[in-house]
Amino acid sequence: MGFRITKNNSESFLYKQHAWKIYVKNGSKPITRYLTKSFKYVETMLMHYSKVFMVRFDLSPNQFNQTNKHIQSYLNQLEKGLSERYQCQCSYICAREQKSSSKEHYHIVLFLSGHKIQYPNSLFKRIKQGWQCFDEGTIHWPERCYYMLKRGQKHTIEKAIYRLSYLTKTDSKELNPKGISSLIFSPLSIPEEINKGTNDIMLVDARYNPPLSKIRVTPLLYACCKTYPKGKKVKTSKKHHVFPSRVSKSILNCQKQLKNNKRINLYAHQVDQADQASAPHEPKIDPL
């Protein structure tokens, strides 16, 4: 699955001071508490390392399991083995799903230091061998399944966040046993400043991505959103400048959210980057 981010399979989600694209399709909404906790896990890993390697894969067990003890035992062994192998902090997030089949399957995301691993070839072999010895089940590697996240550089993180948000969707969890958690998180200690703070500097550099509270909306911007069609350029005078360089196309898309002449809800549909063109260019390490 390629996971291209489009207007039909995504929506904006406000985390702390910035908006992020998350997976939404066919009416399936994310479970907010799981999505927020996933953000905190990414922040915590970026506190440990300025570069974080994230890999995504799927596991299917050999037979149905009524509880999560089986998969959790494997993941704990995998986490310990990878921590020793790469000499770094390792953590995971696992989603249990069962919609119509006779047994469950798991979507898993692993986080490791990007200073210790940059390509997943040896990691793939280790995970596959470990799972087949532990369960004799099957493993699947989705298309474009690994990312390199860099501290404070949103353009290296946003696609990984979108991919991670897929695990938190409500769809495909209908047959999970009652009382069993649909998401399993590794025992990663989340610092107090991340757990209760409002600063998301680990994810976003404010020099290139100003917080929503710093974006000024003018009457001209409101008129543009209401009147101009998508993608049409808007002429602005110096008196009515909204951004340092240009009116964001994402803001123009707010016209679709206007219903019954209600005010624009910037917290539901805001810019992902105030001026992406001004962000420093760096060579891409991840395959996207």
| Helix (H), strand (E) counts: the chain | 7, 8
Q: Where are the domains of the chain?
A: 10-195, 215-273
- The pLDDT, as a whole number, for residue 86 is 95
Q: Check whether 213 has a pLDDT greater than 50.
A: yes
- Work out the average pLDDT over 176-197: 91
* pLDDT, tens digit (0-9, with 9 covering 90-100), for 21-65: 999 988 788 999 999 999 999 999 999 999 999 999 999 999 999
Angle formed by the axes of helices 32-48 and 154-165, to 10°?
140
Name the nearest CA neighbour of 271 among 220, 221, 199, 196.
Answer: 221
Look up the pTM and report it: 0.73
Q: Does domain 10-195 have CATH number 3.30.70.1910?
A: yes
Helix axes 121-134, 69-86, angle to 10 degrees: 140
Tell me the two tokens of residue 173.
């969890």
Residue 3 has a pLDDT of: 67
Task: Give the residue with greater pLDDT, 76 vs 229.
Answer: 76
**SS3 category, 67:** coil
Whole-number mean pLDDT of the chain? 79
Task: Report pLDDT for 131.
Answer: 95
37: region left, alpha or beta (phi > 0 left; psi from -120 to 50 alpha)? alpha
